[in-house]
Structure formats: C-alpha cells, structure tokens
Homo-oligomer: A and B are copies of this chain.
Amino acid sequence: MALSKGERTRERIVAAAAPLFNRRGYAGASMSDLMTATGLEKGGIYRHFESKDALALAAFDHAVALHGQRIRACVEEAEGAVDRVSALANALAQSIDEGVLAGGCPLLNTAIESDDGDDASYAELRARTRTAMRRLISYTRKIIEAGVASGELTARIDAAAEAESIVATLEGALMLSKLYDDPRYVRQAAARVAVQARQWAR
C-alpha cells in the first residue's frame, strides 16, 4: 500500500521519537535529541509537525498503539478468561523489556510526568493518557466480564474493581522493576494476578 515519501518520513520520525520521549520524558527530550535520533535536521522535522508538542502527541499515540497491540496480541492467543487475564498480566509485565519500547510503559511514564495541573502544554497529553489508561482498564474488565458471562468465573467479583486493581498492581510493580532495574517485581505481580484469576474460576 502506498505511503508517499513524506508520509514515510513522518512515520520514521514518530517511530524514532516514541522511545526517546518515553525514556527522557516529554520535556526532557530535546529537539536536538530528536534530530540525532531521526537523522533529520530541524527543518525536516518541523515540515511534518507544527511543534514539538504535536510530535510528542503523535509519538505518544504511536507508543500507546504499539503497547496496546502487543497486549491484545498476547491476550488473543489465549483461550478462556483465566488464561487471558494471565496473558494480559504477562504482556504488561514485558513493558520493562528493552526492545519492546525503550523506557517502559508509556502510560505510567506520562501519567507521572504530566501530573502538574497548572501546566497547559501537558493538558492534551494528559487527556490522551487518561483515555488510553481507561481503555486498558476497560479491556481488562471486559475479559473478566466475558469469563463471568460464560460461567468460567464466579459472579461474585466486581469486574470493574478487579480490573482497576490488576492494572494498578502491575503498573506499581513496573515502577519498582524500573527503579531497581530488576524484572522480579513485575514478574511476581503478574504471577499473583494469574493465581487470583484461577481462584475466581473455582
């Protein structure tokens, strides 16, 4: 399918910018960094994005899309709610692996960086983070609800609350794993989520 040269360049820029923003943060990544990462001069970048903010948003969307795709891919390989919940936990846990998206889970990073209520330039980034996080929680909830509907999981659980808890636990564990540069924390958290899912199945 035909992307024009300009569109391909745009994609290249976004793909190069995403890990950079994810590692250094939106404010921490400079146009200089982006220039070296993309191999383009400033003019070349500004041709495709009207501002650094606009590029940051595109890069964030790209990162979130990658992140979401990987999670959905893992989940859809599994069958049944228990396995799917486990798969989702494992997939989220893999966010720390370099190679997936350098810098870890973009939702976590952006949620923390863009939390300053005053700053206007973060508003849109924050809004998108909220939406993406909502989607992640909602996706988790639907997996649980499907399990309940099919009878695989007990009806006594509150799917919405459990979904929030799962995401919170995993993101918190991701933070610890990043802090200590040690995957143990997320792995353990993912294992716990899997255990709990199995308990819901009894």
Chain A residues proximal to chain B, CB less than 8 Å: 23-25, 27-28, 103-104, 108-109, 111-113, 115-117, 119, 126, 129-130, 133, 161, 164-165, 167-176, 178-181, 185, 188-189, 192
Contacts and interface: CB of A to CB of B under 8 A. Distances in A.
The binding surface of chain A is classed by DSSP as helix
Contacts of A28: 27, 116
How many copies of this protein are present in the complex?
Answer: 4
A196 to B, nearest CB: 11
27 contacts: A23-B116, A24-B116, A25-B27, A25-B116, A27-B27, A109-B115, A111-B176, A111-B178, A112-B113, A112-B175, A112-B178, A113-B113, A115-B178, A117-B181, A129-B179, A130-B179, A133-B179, A164-B185, A164-B188, A165-B189, A168-B169, A168-B173, A168-B176, A168-B189, A169-B172, A172-B172, A172-B174
B165 A192 contact: yes
Contacts of A27: 25, 27-28
A185 B169 CA distance: 11
Contacts of A126: 179
Given A28-B116, A103-B115, A180-B130, A171 B165 contact: no
A129 B112 CA distance: 15
B180 A168 contact: no
Nearest to A117: B181
Contacts of A117: 181
Closest 5 CB pairs of A and B: A172-B172, A168-B172, A112-B112, A171-B172, A168-B173
Contacts of A111: 175-176, 178-179
Given A133-B180, A165-B169, 17 more contacts: A25-B27, A25-B116, A104-B115, A111-B176, A111-B178, A111-B179, A112-B113, A112-B178, A115-B179, A130-B180, A165-B173, A167-B176, A168-B172, A168-B173, A170-B172, A171-B175, A172-B175
